[in-house]
Structure formats: structure tokens, C-alpha cells
Homo-oligomer: A and B are copies of this chain.
């Protein structure tokens, strides 16, 4: 580089030097020099019309790549708009580097309208927050932001960039030393203990999460299960799971407290891998928070920051089982294409038929998909992504980021109508970037999940005003018009055969598509 560097160009160069080569951006006035710096052939910039799309897309990028993306947000309120999906990303252990524009240091003392306590807004949901205070040190700050975001599990880094730091010339840049991302091994004593538990023959479930639900870690888990008779499970929600025909199958612990408790009742031991024991998503007046049977023991094979692949290697060794012993394998299941009315079962069958090999399925279908995804276990091998943080509006942004991360893989985004509305601006970025994403809107015209939760809570029979707060059918959202407004072709379906055909067609064609499933 022979061009004179300023804070912004140095920041962008440092990001790409460390492999962060995409920026999901929603810029404003204070970020103009950063915007200029984005004109860097090594950096890809993707414009989002709402900040929650940018942060959710960064999450989706990480879910597939396991390396962080960056976002560009406009001062405190821009960060605030992105926080809900930062929460979801944090809970999914996704790494992310947020660049938040800020007034110049000299301007802040006048308390201009857009100023706010950005550190205060960032801290509750970031692992690392820093305000860049000079152009000379910004390479250091940026390097650290990326190092932290790249740890295992992934972390949220937030770097606040004042305008004057952005535009000032860099004179004597300083950078921190490189840092090795060492694999962290579990203690041998813990492994030995778990080997003894598994050899005891007492019923055990190994609960896999994060990186243990894919790749070699999952293969090795399948060998442990086959050798010991332990069952493999996952929390109801997983950051990304590799599943389908030919993969090691994982049982899903149910969402509802009563079903989860019944499911877990038979196990004497829960062995956790990059996760903790199952906890109810919400609290209810008369239901427990912990879902295991009283007296069940919980053992951590790998903590969240440990290397689960290594843990399974060590465990196989302790068990005296070869690392290429036979494993459990999910057979391909031929699903008969469904016909007739659309309901959770026929929808799941349609998915089983139409999910193509190597697809990425992002699931935020809540009521429609909650109980039936098991029927897609024998579909063509694919990745399944769930919402780990529970903040609604994660799926369409995550699908956007996943599609950018994996341009050769079709993405299927299953989302309820109520959920889709939070970050519907994603469709525009999908059209702009020509992403092969099929968004399936389950249009039941209500916050259907809340109808069930109302009863679960023992809040009595909803009165008319309470019911109205759950009913989003007045007016009915016209999903075909919504898709058209942002340049996405769309199609309604009212039968299982139409849905199966529409989905199979959509995933084969390039570019985004929206299918309205009329329930």
C-alpha cells in the first residue's frame, strides 16, 4: 500500500488481513470515511435496510464459515436496532465484529442529538467493547476485536469508531502480537470418569451442541454411541446440525416442559458436550425449570470452550474403542410425496421430499415446524440452523448471511408470519444479492405459539382484548405483495402437493423466492 492510510482504511485493511472480508452495512453520516474505506477490493460490502438484518446476517455467515463477519452500524441507535440479533448470535456462539460509528471526540461534549452511551448499550450483549481513540492504535484495536470474536466459542466484539479517528492519518501504526488459537482439551480425569459411566451400562444420553453437532466430532460421537449404547441427543435448538441420510442421527429433546421431562426420565446420566443440562425455555407457574429427572447425574465431557472432537478422541481411547469403529448412521428414508391439506405432518413430509442434498435449512417456524422436524431426519444430507437466543426475527437475516457464506448451497428459510415481520427487510438484500434462498412463510395469521403459551401459563381463557393481541389476521398480511415490494418472486400454496412442487422448484432455481403456505 503506497496510499496514505487513515483510521478507516487501516481498520478495513486490518479486518481483511485477519480474514474478516465481508461487512454487513447500514451506514450514516458519521461513517462516511469508513464507507470510503470499504471501497477495498478485498472487502465485500452488503447493504442492509435495517440493522437487525446486518447483525443476523453476520450470525448466519459465522454459522456456516466459523469465522466472523463484520457489521457497520450508525451510532448508539443503529447498534440498538442490531442488538436483538446480536443476542441471538451470542447465544449461538457466533463470532462477530461490530463497527459502530460515533461522533468525533471533540463533538461529544456538546451532547448532539444522536449521542448516547454506546458502551452502555454494547456491553450487555458483547464480550469485548472498545472505543478506538487514535488512528495509530486502530490496527491494534481491530486485531484484538477479531482475535476475541474468533475464539471458541465465538464471541461478540464491538469496536466504537469516532469520526475523527476514522478520518485522521495513521502515522505510527502499532499492532498486537499474533495469538495462537490453541485447541483446549478437557481434563483426562473427566474423560476417564465418563468412560466408567458409559461402561456401567446405566442409561445415558450424550447431549451434543455447537461444534459437536457436525463434522468429525459428530462422527466420533456416533462411534461412542454405537460402542456403548448411549443415546445421542441435542437441545431442542442447535446452532447448526449436520443431519439427514448418511449422517449420525441425533435425537431432539422436546421443547415443551412436560414432553421434555418425560423424554429425559429414562436417563440416569446426561453427558453434556459444549452445552449444559436442559433448561425450560420459559418459566411457568407450576412447571420445573430443570427438565432432568431428580437424581439424574450430569457430566461435562466438553465445556463450551473445549474441543469436543478432541474430547471424543480421548473418550474413545479411554473406552478402548478404535476411532474408526463403526458408527450409527441415519439411513435414507424414501418419503412418499404428501397430498391433501397442509398441516405440520404433510409440511414435514414435503420438506423430506424436497430438501436437496447440501441444503441449509434455517428454522423459525415455531408452531408449524416444532413437532415435526423429526420426519426430515432421513432426507438428503443438509444443515439445520435454529434460533439459540429466542429473539424473534432471526431467520431471514441468518438465511441471508448463510447464503452469502455458501453461494453454491440452496438455503431454505422456514418462518412463521408473525416472526417474519420483525426483520422482513432481509428480502430486499436477498433480491439485491441474487441469493438462492427460499423463504417459506407459514401464514396462520396469528402469533399461534402464544395461544398455546397462554394456556400453558394458566392465565385462564384469553378475553377479547388479549386475543386481539395474539391475532395478526386483521388485516391479513398479503405475502405476495410483500415479496413483490422488495423484488422477490413468490407463490402461494394451499395443498401439500403444491407445496412440495413449489419448494422443489424454488431450491433448483437461482435467486430468492417466497412461498406462502396458507394454513
Contacts and interface: CB of A to CB of B under 8 A. Distances in A.
Nearest to A389: B113
Given A39-B464, A282-B112, A80 B77 contact: no
Contact of A80 (B32, B80, B449): B80
Interface string A117-141: 1001101110000000000000000
A391 B103 CA distance: 14
Contact of A36 (B40, B113, B462): B462
A485 interface: yes
A295 interface: no
Interface residues of A, number: 102
Contact of A45 (B123, B465, B486): B465
B478 A484 contact: yes
A104 B286 CA distance: 12
A253 interface: no
What is the copy number of this chain in the assembly? 2
23 contacts: A25-B469, A29-B449, A35-B470, A43-B465, A49-B422, A50-B422, A80-B84, A81-B83, A81-B391, A81-B422, A83-B121, A107-B280, A112-B281, A112-B283, A113-B237, A113-B281, A116-B124, A163-B283, A421-B425, A477-B486, A478-B486, A482-B485, A485-B485
B87 A282 contact: no
A390 interface: yes
A460 B392 CA distance: 40
A167 B289 contact: no
Contacts of A163: 282-283, 457
Contacts of A457: 29, 32-33, 163, 167
A88 B116 CA distance: 11
Nearest to A121: B124
Contacts of A80: 80, 83-84, 87, 125, 391
Contacts of A487: 475-476, 478
A280 B30 CA distance: 12
What are the nearest 6 A-B pairs in CB distance?
A475-B487, A39-B463, A77-B391, A107-B283, A80-B83, A120-B124
Given A124-B116, A289-B107, A475-B428, A468 B164 contact: no
Nearest to A488: B475
Contact of A469 (B35, B110, B391, B453): B35
Contacts of A263: none
B468 A477 contact: no
A496 B33 CA distance: 37
A88, A460, A481, A487: residue with the most chain B Cβ atoms closer than 10 Å: A481
